[in-house]
């Protein structure tokens, strides 16, 4: 199964304000991707358009080469879980909701769903309205996992789970993706926790796609240059500096972009300390402030 997603010039306007502007990217093959972005950056809008929940104002969205909106061939391949899930209704029992899923999704695995609900301790005969937020999230996450949809998207859906449940989710996700390869997109704020699962990372900022890169490449993309302030300034001249912190005469600057061996040697010679930048910090620095 090699599902693919392709968007070109994707734009979404609510009134005059653009929620998404000219977003173009493509993803293909079974993999786990991370979608990062601040609140209000357009993450949920982008994912909603990918799933056919919304129709875009302009541009194209293709799943396996087919336009998505109101196209059963494409939408049938996508399962989007937003928050506690749209495949849930406050007054319908969990058992019935699971039954509906089985009837509406051809790829649904009922046995797997039952196992997951047991693992998360979600009672079958209650309605979502009577469940705690954590259990509602567990139900949503179960819907996504058991759907076995070729493109499965979790939009901050597991954030309501407590830490042990979150780790149980990551383990279940990884185990299932290994046994049944599919494309999984995870939109998250908990980058530190789930970052090791990502193969690709997309960052959305102010409705635009800021970058799309391999996760490991991004982990090497930033460097913290620390030392005497004047030395740091002259070293970072001409480089892409994302962030600077000063304490007395010491300055630490976050530089974006690879530093070749020559530059690294130069830094050591001058007595500057070079350190790595975690993915989460890189994200924070790239998306702080307004549009760049």
Partner 1 sequence: MFDDRSPIYRQIADRIEAEVLSGALTGDEQVMSTNKYAAFHRINPATVNKAFQQLVDDGVLYKRRGIGMFVHPQARQALRARLRKSFFADVVDPMVERARALGIELPDLVERITQQASEEER
Partner 2 sequence: MSGRNRWPTLGILLTAHLTFTLVLWLVLGIVSAVTTAGLWWFGNVDESIWHNVATQVPRWFLMGLGIDAISTYLRLNVAHGRTRGDFLRQLWPYFVGLAVSAALLQTIGYLVEGGVYAAAGWSHDLPSAALFGNANDFAGIFATYTLFLLLWTIAGALVSAAFSRSVLTGLSTIPLALLIISPGEILLGPTGFLGIGNVLSGVGGSTVVGVGWGVVAAVVGCAAIWGIARDTPLRPKVA
The site partner of 262 among partner 2, partner 1, none (C-beta below 5 to 8 Å per kind) is none
Sorted by sequence, the CB contacts under 8 Å of residue 25 that are 6+ apart come out as 6, 7, 202, 209, 212
23, 87, 253, 259: residue in contact with partner 2 (rule CB under 8 A): 87
The site partner of 198 among partner 2, partner 1, none (C-beta below 5 to 8 Å per kind) is partner 1
Which residues within the stretch 175-214 sit at the binding site for partner 1 (CB under 8 A)?
A: 175, 177-178, 191-192, 195-199
Give the whole-angstrom CA distance, residue 274 versus residue 249: 17
The three-class DSSP label of residue 99 is helix
Which residues within the stretch 99-158 sit at the binding site for partner 1 (CB under 8 A)?
A: none
Structural tokens at position 216: 């490991």
Give the whole-angstrom CA distance, residue 156 versus residue 43: 10
Residue 52: φ, ψ to 5°:
80, 15
3-state SS of the chain: helix, strand, coil percent to 5? 35, 30, 30
Of 178, 94, 75, the residue nearest 138 (C-alpha): 94
The site partner of 280 among partner 1, partner 2, none (C-beta below 5 to 8 Å per kind) is partner 1
CB of 174 to partner 2, least distance (A): 24
7, 41, 44, 287: residue in contact with partner 2 (rule CB under 8 A): 44
The three-class DSSP label of residue 241 is strand
92 binds partner 2 (CB under 8 A): yes
279 binds partner 1 (CB under 8 A): yes
42 binds partner 2 (CB under 8 A): no
Using alpha carbons only, give the angle 103, 109, 115 rounded to the nearest 5 degrees.
120
Binding site for partner 2 (CB under 8 A): 44, 48, 52-55, 69-72, 75-80, 82-87, 89, 91-92, 96-97, 100-101, 103-105, 133, 147, 149
List residues near partner 1 by CB under 8 A. Answer: 31-32, 167, 170-171, 174-175, 177-178, 191-192, 195-199, 215-217, 219-220, 268, 271, 276-280
């Amino acid at each position: 199964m090699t599902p693919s997603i392709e968007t070109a010039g994707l734009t979404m306007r609510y009134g005059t304000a653009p929620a998404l502007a000219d977003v173009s990217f493509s993803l293909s093959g079974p993999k786990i991707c991370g979608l990062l972005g601040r609140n209000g950056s357009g993450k949920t809008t982008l994912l909603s358009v990918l799933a056919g929940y919304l129709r875009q104002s302009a541009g194209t969205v293709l799943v396996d080469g087919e336009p998505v909106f109101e196209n059963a061939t494409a939408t049938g391949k996508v399962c989007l879980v937003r928050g506690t899930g749209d495949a849930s209704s406050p007054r319908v029992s969990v058992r019935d909701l699971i039954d509906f899923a089985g009837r509406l999704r051809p790829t649904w695995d009922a046995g797997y769903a039952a196992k997951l609900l047991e693992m998360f301790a979600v009672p079958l005969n209650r309605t979502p309205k009577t469940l705690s937020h954590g259990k509602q999230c567990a139900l949503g996450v179960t819907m996504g996992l058991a759907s076995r949809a070729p493109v499965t998207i979790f939009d901050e859906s597991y954030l309501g789970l407590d830490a042990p449940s979150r780790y149980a989710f990551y383990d279940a996700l990884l185990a299932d993706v290994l046994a049944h390869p599919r494309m999984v997109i995870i939109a998250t704020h908990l980058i530190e926790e789930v970052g090791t699962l990502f193969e690709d990372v997309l960052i959305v900022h102010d409705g635009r796609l800021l970058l799309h890169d391999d996760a490991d490449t991004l982990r090497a993309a930033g460097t913290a240059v620390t030392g005497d302030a004047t030395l740091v300034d002259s070293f970072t001249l001409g480089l892409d500096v994302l962030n600077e912190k000063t304490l007395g005469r010491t300055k630490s600057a976050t530089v974006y972009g690879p530093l070749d061996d020559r530059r690294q040697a130069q830094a050591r010679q001058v007595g500057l300390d070079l350190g790595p930048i975690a993915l989460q910090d890189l994200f924070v620095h790239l998306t702080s402030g307004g549009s760049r």
